[in-house]
Amino acid sequence: MQSEPVQLHGSVQIKPDLIGRCEKVDLVIIPAIGPNVANVKRRCRLEIEWIKEMASRENRIASVCSGAFLLASTGLLDGRRATTHWVFAPLFRRMFPSVYLDVDRLVIDQGRFLTSGGSNAFYDLGLHVLEQSLGRDIALKCARHFLLDSDRISQTPFMVFAAQKHHDDSSVAEAQTILEAEFASSISMETLAGRVGLSPRTLKRRFKQATGDSLSTYLQRLRIEWARRRLEETGDSIEEISYAVGYENVGFFRLLFKRYTGNTPFEHRRKNSLKIFPANAPRS
């Protein structure tokens, strides 16, 4: 909307072209706009009018994560199905009762309007658009090259944590969102606290107060929940899953998994696998 330089991380600046000068484009992508979406209609009036104008020219428009709030604010999603990050579902339904929200879906394609789930769902959106434009073979090659799961459908592996989000502490909610997106990384308490604007000590106290879990317990549960889904839905070996969720010590991963689920990883897969894998699929 404006031509002033944009400051990125690492002191990098880019000078954008004025998007308002665009008329016909292949696809307009509305990125995630952050967690503070309740006042989007008031603070994004210029963007809302521009999106309406682009839609009037028959352009396709897609949103990622909380960007769905901006797209829905135009009225273009009324009477249509849409998705966003599932943590925003209650607020989205209150703000946009005329939109049929389905937060279980990673990508919903309604012709000229596409919506996708949590921030990382932009990968799934990209693969979807690639498949439409260039075919499934190209989309699969891209998925393999970037180590993406091309068959993901649902975005709700962490719905089990929904009850722990029924609180009014926005800083803790932001910390929960960060942990869900980056649970496999070695994010420190100091780094996490800095990103949500609190001291480590204050974050530790408020997180426990709001969720009932310590930060370390919450992170362990996130990792085990993701591992549980991978055991059910893929043929990945237990070692691969352990590394993928952030545990290099597979023995420690097995111990935690049994502590939280009551079964070993292999027992859980045997009882709950959703797919039939080849006889030589990894079992260890």
Q: Tens digits of per-residue pLDDT, 176-200?
A: 989 988 899 888 999 999 999 999 9
Distances (CA, A) of 3 to 15, 18, 21, 44: 7, 6, 11, 17
Give the residue range(s) of CATH 1.10.10.60 domains in the chain.
Answer: 159-272
pLDDT digits (tens, 9 = 90+) for 44-63: 999 999 999 999 999 999 99
User: Does the pLDDT of residue 282 top 70, yes or no?
Assistant: no
CATH homologous superfamily for the domain 159-272: Homeodomain-like (1.10.10.60)
Which spans in the chain are helix H?
Answer: 40-43, 45-56, 67-72, 89-95, 122-134, 136-145, 170-182, 189-196, 200-211, 215-233, 238-244, 250-261, 265-272
Residue type, position 225, single letter: E
Q: Which CATH number fits domain 6-145: 3.40.50.880, 3.30.9.10, 3.10.20.30, 3.30.450.20?
A: 3.40.50.880
Q: How many CB atoms lie within 10 A of CB 88?
A: 21
Give the residue range(s) of CATH 3.40.50.880 domains in the chain.
Answer: 6-145
Residue of 78, 76, 30, 33 whose CA lies nearest to 53: 76
Distances (CA, A) of 134 to 84, 137, 153, 225: 26, 8, 20, 35
Residue of 131, 94, 132 whose CA lies nearest to 112: 132
pLDDT band at 18 (very low <50, low <70, confident <90, very high): confident
Q: Is the pTM of this model over 0.85?
A: no
The pLDDT value recorded for residue 163 is: 66
Residue of 215, 223, 244, 231 whose CA lies nearest to 274: 231
pLDDT digits (tens, 9 = 90+) for 208-225: 999 999 999 999 999 998
